[in-house]
Structure 1
Amino acid sequence: MREIIRRRKAMNNQEMMELSTVDKSDFEELVKECTASGIIDQNLYTEYDVKRGLRDSNGNGVLTGLTEISDVLGNQSVHGRKIPVDGELYFQGYNVEELIKRSSLDRFRFEEATYLLLFGVLPDKDQLDRFIRILTDLQELSGAFIRDVIMKATSTNLMNSLMKSILSLYSYDEKPDDISIPNVLRQSLQLIAKMPLLSVYAYQSYRHFKLDGTLMIKNPKKGYSTAENILYMLRDDGDFTELEAKVLDICLVLHAEHGGGNNSTFTTHVVTSSGTDTYSAIASSIASLKGPKHGGANLKVQEMFTDIKAHCSDWDNKDEICTYLNKILDKEAFDHAGLIYGMGHAVYTNSDPRAVILKKFAKQLSEEKGMQKEFALYELVESEAGQLIMNKRKMFKPVCANVDFYSGFVYTMLGIPEEMFTPMFATSRISGWCAHRLEELVNAGKIIRPAYKYVGHHRPYVDMDER
């Protein structure tokens, strides 16, 4: 098997040959020219009042659209001043914390949240049952698709595998370019149903072809929730506890949607506004989420805690932990970026409601898994890091733990491999992306086209022999 893998890798490498020594020298010159030509005077952003990153001088997002799908609150306006408050997240007007707390469902919270995001109302029992039946009918993938798409040219990054699979589904659709609401809704439901399979099968293919592990492809079980099927298809024995399924279900709900301004959802709106097909729009959103500044943050949190555990002998010693956290902030430890990952948010101030909810379930799961000591370390870092960051950066706005702080720890306790952390995010967030795509199409808005200020110089053409 190893020889087969080696030969396959060699064949793949033929498509991406290394540059020769001569070519490398020429290429290095091109790199220098490219870098030099791309430099822009940073003072010009202030001179022309450019809202870089679509944010104002206070870091608030610039309004670019309207939505009814979700609301993200981190402060209140009192006499013209913004006052930090405990964060709140709303899906179609309903507080997510209340949705999770008051739901009488044991197995279908994510499906209920998806229905709410797409259709704007909480489903009654008959509506939810019908919705789940539709998703169940749409979730399967053919053996030919798994063989010809997912298992061909397996990627080391599963997000690229997801994009490839989503784009390939275009070829299997009889009406791929029809952007009428009925057709896009059909496509959306199919993608929501199939995304867990695409994610898990991509990992199984990666495990087999890249790690030389056993290839294991399971069909989803009828009657299982999305969370249950993910655990069932991912694990060799297919077994899981009730708490494990419940916690993963909560994770899916909390990641399903987070306002229209986050990078991947804004990408959904931008690409959809051009009139392109559903598969291209969702692949673009996945490409955005792949970025480490967006969807990969929980993995950085996990890496940071691995580093903290390795360099701090007493996880209960607050002074030792704080000393090391200050070294991280001073760029003397971990990745030398000066960041405590999982702390701080663009909107939330006092608290991120997703982190507050997830922390409770992380504690329950740590007790079931015998990982209370690890949970206590997370809790200690959370309690101290915010104030350390404020002191070090001379900030007055509170710094709270965001959802990424605990999500990676929860995934680890659930036995979900790190390669699947961001695909799990996509498996959940596709519900929100599809809701926003439909909202953009229903309102038939203009193509989104912000402006860039040209700060170069107009120059006359110079003939070759005069350059």
Structure 2
Amino acid sequence: METNSFCEITPELIALSKKNKEATTINMDDYTKYDVKRGLRDLNGKGVLVGLTEISDVNASKEVDGKTVPAPGRLFYRGYNIKDLIKDIPYENHFGYEKCTYLLLFGELPSLKEHADFIKILSNYRTLPTSFVRDIIMKAPSRDMMNTLARSVLTLYAYDNRADDISAPNVLRQCLQLISLFPVLSVYGYLAYKHYHDGASLFIHSPREDFSTAENILHLLRPDSQFSPLEAKLLDICLILHMEHGGGNNSSFTTHLLSSSATDTYSVIAASLGSLKGPRHGGANIKLVQMFQDMKQVLNDWEDEDEISSYLRALLNKRAFDHSGLIYGMGHAVYSLSDPRAEVLREFAQKLSIEKNYTKEFALYQKVERLAPKIIAEERKIYKGVSPNVDFFSGLVYEMLGLPLELYTPIFAIARIAGWSAHRLEELNLNSKIMRPAYKYVGNYKND
């Protein structure tokens, strides 16, 4: 195999890397000594307060006799409980992602006319610049779709005559365009990769103006453009559940951080994509599906709870799957008793499992959902409860929808761009100061 010198790690680099690592001598006890919250959160997962927002709230505790105690998780968009926003969507004649995007951006649910006008605006923006697909997406396709998406976002800067204008109307225009284009950029990037790297047949469907975001994803991705109403509705619900999660999650905080420097929209969103790409953030559901694939191969009997429990203990003790010591899909930085997004998805995942003949797989997920928290409590010293997070069921839903693993995290981004846009506009509207958190120097002074 030909060596790519651009990617080569030489012995000299290895030696220098070791020297760099040896230069990092910070004592972990010093974080306690100086009261520094590692990861900007305490042992209970409570985040360090760094800002104010009106966009959404993540609530997982309540006050009882003057003490903060865990409570069933709740998620609010502009004061609306996410469960209330979703409960009627499966039975309505329209999709909910666009309506909730309007809510996040403008602070209230749209009227029927406002909803229709907003959908029309998004549809009109769902067109890429001339030759963009040929010149940008089709050339040098990356094996990682988040890389492709970020590169496409940064390249759109060159096509925008007002790229650096951070006035509110212009930033809103840029955000609406990116919200509309994310499904197109993501799916086209994947199709180009499959064609040039795997030799798959190349097809490019144009977005349909009469389709919702969820419908267009399935339309663009599938060769025959066919999908069932339940498939489209469930993908729409996944988008709603992933579109926002408070200002303190890593990628939304990134949005606030970069926006505070008054940089352009494309740089901000590309940075947020880089944050979401990480397996500790948006990339977690890929690991979950791969973990279950390994589990299904290892288990002799998917109904044997003792065998399932043994596998879960092996995961925690780094003897199974990727030897990370993690049961993916279990636990959350904020939620302890329950993740409301997982509760919503569980119900609809069960319905889709019947349509897709995945009932045995769904039953296995249910067993893991029930057994894992107990086993984690036995094997680990934990400071709060453990329950399934949204990734636990979203990975299964995406698998049942036949979505490729490469698009799992981009679909998260397709949803979350609405929240990022709301946070960017909020930061700019507040005209707040540039963020500059303090780091304490604990190294030695030379020749002083």
Same fold (TM over 0.5): yes
Kept in 2, the 8 Å contact 1:390–1:396? The answer is: no
CA offset at residue 324 of structure 1? Answer: 1.3
CA offset at residue 395 of structure 1? Answer: 3.1
The whole-number CA distance in structure 2 between the counterparts of 1:394 and 1:301 is 22
Please tell me whether residue 266 in structure 1 is matched to residue 253 in structure 2: yes
CA shift digits 1:355-377 (9 cap, x unpaired) = 00011111010000011000000
| Structure 2 counterpart SS, 1:115 | helix
Kept in 1, the 8 Å contact 2:125–2:181? The answer is: yes
Report the equivalent of 1:60: 46
The whole-number CA distance in structure 1 between the counterparts of 2:396 and 2:256 is 31
CA shift digits 1:104-146 (9 cap, x unpaired) = 6333200001000000000010000000000000011145101
Report the equivalent of 1:38: 24
Report the equivalent of 2:102: 115
Letter in 1 for 2:120: R
Kept in 2, the 8 Å contact 1:106–1:246? The answer is: no
Q: TM-score, normalised by structure 2?
A: 0.97
Kept in 2, the 8 Å contact 1:227–1:249? The answer is: yes
CA offset at residue 457 of structure 1? Answer: 1.1
CA offset at residue 88 of structure 1? Answer: 0.7
Kept in 2, the 8 Å contact 1:151–1:205? The answer is: yes
Change in Cα spacing, 1:92 to 1:27, as seen in structure 2 (3 Å) is same
| Structure 2 counterpart SS, 1:210 | helix
Letter in 2 for 1:207: K
Change in Cα spacing, 1:245 to 1:343, as seen in structure 2 (3 Å) is same
| Structure 1 counterpart SS, 2:210 | coil
| Structure 2 counterpart SS, 1:282 | helix
Report the equivalent of 1:288: 275
Q: TM-score, normalised by structure 1?
A: 0.93
Find runs of 4+ consecutive structure 1 residues off by over 4 angstroms. Answer: none
The whole-number CA distance in structure 2 between the counterparts of 1:48 and 1:353 is 36
Q: 1:228 aligns with which of 215, 231, 256?
A: 215
| Structure 1 counterpart SS, 2:198 | coil
The whole-number CA distance in structure 2 between the counterparts of 1:15 and 1:168 is 26
Letter in 2 for 1:51: K
Q: Which runs of 5+ in 1 are unaligned?
A: 1-5, 462-467
Q: 1:437 aligns with which of 417, 424, 429?
A: 424
| Structure 2 counterpart SS, 1:139 | coil
Query: Identity, % of aligned pairs?
Result: 55
Report the equivalent of 2:227: 240
The whole-number CA distance in structure 1 between the counterparts of 2:43 and 2:360 is 41
CA offset at residue 287 of structure 1? Answer: 0.3
CA shift digits 1:373-409 (9 cap, x unpaired) = 0000001100110111112113362211000001111
The whole-number CA distance in structure 1 between the counterparts of 2:231 and 2:376 is 33
The whole-number CA distance in structure 2 between the counterparts of 1:451 and 1:394 is 31
Kept in 2, the 8 Å contact 1:107–1:246? The answer is: no
Change in Cα spacing, 1:135 to 1:321, as seen in structure 2 (3 Å) is same
Q: 1:201 aligns with which of 188, 213, 216?
A: 188
Please tell me whether residue 310 in structure 1 is matched to residue 300 in structure 2: no
| Structure 2 counterpart SS, 1:76 | strand
The whole-number CA distance in structure 1 between the counterparts of 2:93 and 2:301 is 39
Letter in 2 for 1:16: F
Please tell me whether residue 397 in structure 1 is matched to residue 369 in structure 2: no
Greater CA drift, 248-257 or 38-47: 38-47
CA shift digits 1:129-181 (9 cap, x unpaired) = 00000000001114510111111111111101011000011111110001010
Report the equivalent of 2:263: 276
Matching of residues 9-408 of structure 1 within 5 Å: 16=6, 18=8, 24-103=10-89, 105-395=92-382, 397-408=384-395
The whole-number CA distance in structure 1 between the counterparts of 2:383 and 2:144 is 39
CA offset at residue 205 of structure 1? Answer: 0.7
| Structure 1 counterpart SS, 2:248 | coil
| Structure 1 counterpart SS, 2:131 | helix
The whole-number CA distance in structure 1 between the counterparts of 2:383 and 2:409 is 32
Greater CA drift, 353-362 or 324-333: 324-333
Letter in 1 for 2:228: T
The whole-number CA distance in structure 2 between the counterparts of 1:167 and 1:419 is 20
Letter in 2 for 1:180: S
CA offset at residue 79 of structure 1? Answer: 2.0
Change in Cα spacing, 1:73 to 1:120, as seen in structure 2 (3 Å) is same
CA offset at residue 18 of structure 1? Answer: 3.3
Letter in 1 for 2:36: V
Kept in 1, the 8 Å contact 2:129–2:159? The answer is: no
| Structure 2 counterpart SS, 1:38 | coil
The whole-number CA distance in structure 2 between the counterparts of 1:32 and 1:222 is 55
The whole-number CA distance in structure 1 between the counterparts of 2:46 and 2:153 is 33
